[in-house]
Structure 1
Amino acid sequence: MIDIGQAQDELRAAYQGGAPGVFISGLAWLAADVAWYVAGSFYAFIALFIGGALIFPLTLVIERLLRAPRISKDNGLHKLGLEATFPLFAGLLIAFGLLPWSANFAFAALAIVVGARYFAFATLYRERVYWLLGSAIFLIGTGFAVQADALPVHVTLVVGSAELLFAALLFTRWNAAAA
Structure 2
Amino acid sequence: MNEKLHKTEPYPVDAFVMAQTDLRKGYADGSLGVLILGAVWLVAALVAFFVSSLTAVWTLFFGGMFIHPLSLLIGKLMGVPGNHSKQNPLGKLAMEGTAFMLMCIPLALLLSLQEHAWFFQGMLLIIGGRYLTFTTLYGIKTYWVLGGILGAAAFALFFFNASPGISALIAFSMETGARILCFTKLKRKPSL
- In the TM superposition, residue 15 of structure 1 has moved relative to its aligned partner by 1.0
Alpha-carbon distance in structure 1 between the residues aligned to 2:59 and 2:134: 24
Alpha-carbon distance in structure 2 between the residues aligned to 1:152 and 1:117: 21
- In the TM superposition, residue 160 of structure 1 has moved relative to its aligned partner by 1.1
Q: What are the within-5 Å matches in structure 2 for residues 1-179 of structure 1?
A: 3-69=15-81, 70-149=83-162, 154-178=166-190
SS at match of 1:154: helix
Runs of 4+ aligned residues of structure 1 deviating over 4 Å after TM superposition are: none
Unmatched 5+ stretches in structure 1? none
Alpha-carbon distance in structure 1 between the residues aligned to 2:40 and 2:53: 14
Unmatched 5+ stretches in structure 2? 1-13
- List per-residue Cα deviations over 1:48-98 (Å, max 9, x = no partner): 112211111011112211222442110111222221112332332112112
Q: How many residues align?
A: 177
CA RMSD between the two structures: 1.9
Distance 1:58 1:153, change over 3 A: closer
Q: Read off the aligned partner of 1:173 and give its amino acid letter.
A: K
Which has the larger Rg?
2
- In the TM superposition, residue 152 of structure 1 has moved relative to its aligned partner by 10
Report percent identity of matched pairs. 31
Q: Read off the aligned partner of 1:129 and give its amino acid letter.
A: T
The answer on whether the counterparts of 1:111 and 1:138 sit within 8 Å (CA) in structure 2 is yes
- List per-residue Cα deviations over 1:82-115 (Å, max 9, x = no partner): 2111233233211211212211222212211111
